[in-house]
Chain A
């Protein structure tokens, strides 16, 4: 079961869950991701220490997609 989560004031919230064999859940997760991207969130797939990639479409094979806010110099 893959998850789309958003890092927010609750720690994190799970917005969608999907499996690659379940088209309906994948479509719902893709729609949830698009909505969050439009609101200014960035979607990231961590690929272990030292590696992460930003995504604009739902990667169906990724176990975890994390939504983060922009960062800036303090």
Chain B
């Protein structure tokens, strides 16, 4: 299995976000812990209140049930936001069709051919089924779509969802994915630095929110991530 190689090159786009720490194993673990703490801060008060109310007066159990529902819904909403990064919209195709006079599907077919050339056989098949490109990396297995990326961390238990896209609005979906793929291959840490984190959490929670085809792509990414050795704490240079 190939993996993203380390190198001196950095994405030029990083000049736009000089305040961000360059992504490393340490920052990924920190982001994951922060997300867990944030989720706990949103849910534990509901759980505690529901328990306290039930202890004080059993008549408040229905109210406690509503609070428990809130405690369940909040992380689900976060996961739903993460799942949105895999959405493939038809809008860029329609825009391309308007600009070129060519059917959007024709531009997409051309773009798909190029993306297919960039992917290996298995990744190409997975993309045909799901619209998502699977790319192994040092930080885990990446799933790339036209407007975002999912990083399945080594071991497959934790995912990070990123909103990231090419700034050109009139590209067919496969070209948008190819942009992300090339940027990721150029500089994985820079790619993760540039992208906006929209969800970090357990894989099962995200899986439930994905469409069927994206879910099968996630399963494949999890299988790949299980084969990736986690980097050590001192292995952050890239």
Contacts and interface: CB of A to CB of B under 8 A. Distances in A.
Contacts of B123: 49
Given A10-B110, A72-B167, A72-B194, A50 B186 contact: no
B118 A46 contact: yes
Nearest to A66: B182
A38 to B, nearest CB: 14
A10 B2 contact: no
A50 B185 contact: yes
B168 A69 contact: yes
A12 B164 CA distance: 21
B43 to A, nearest CB: 27
Interface string B59-102: 00000000000000000000000000000000000011001101
A21 interface: no
Contact of A71 (B3, B117, B185, B194): B194
Contacts of B41: none
A69 B176 CA distance: 9
A34 interface: no
A30 B165 CA distance: 28
A10 B102 contact: yes
Given A7-B111, A53-B7, A68-B182, A73 B12 contact: no
B207 interface: no
B171 interface: yes
Interface in A1-59: 5, 7-12, 42, 44, 46-54
A8 B5 CA distance: 27
Interface in B93-127: 95-96, 99-100, 102, 106-114, 117-120, 123
A13 B127 CA distance: 22
Interface centre among A48, A50, A52, A73 (most CB of B within 10 A): A73
Nearest to B175: A7
Contacts of B165: 71-72, 74
Contact of A51 (B5, B17, B167, B174): B5
Given A10-B96, A69-B166, A72-B13, A52 B182 contact: yes
B114 A70 contact: no
Contact of A49 (B107, B120, B180, B196): B120
5 nearest A-B residue pairs (beta carbon): A11-B110, A52-B185, A73-B196, A74-B163, A49-B2
Interface of B: 2-5, 7, 9, 11-13, 16-17, 95-96, 99-100, 102, 106-114, 117-120, 123, 135-137, 147-148, 162-168, 170-172, 174-175, 178-180, 182-183, 185-186, 191, 194-196
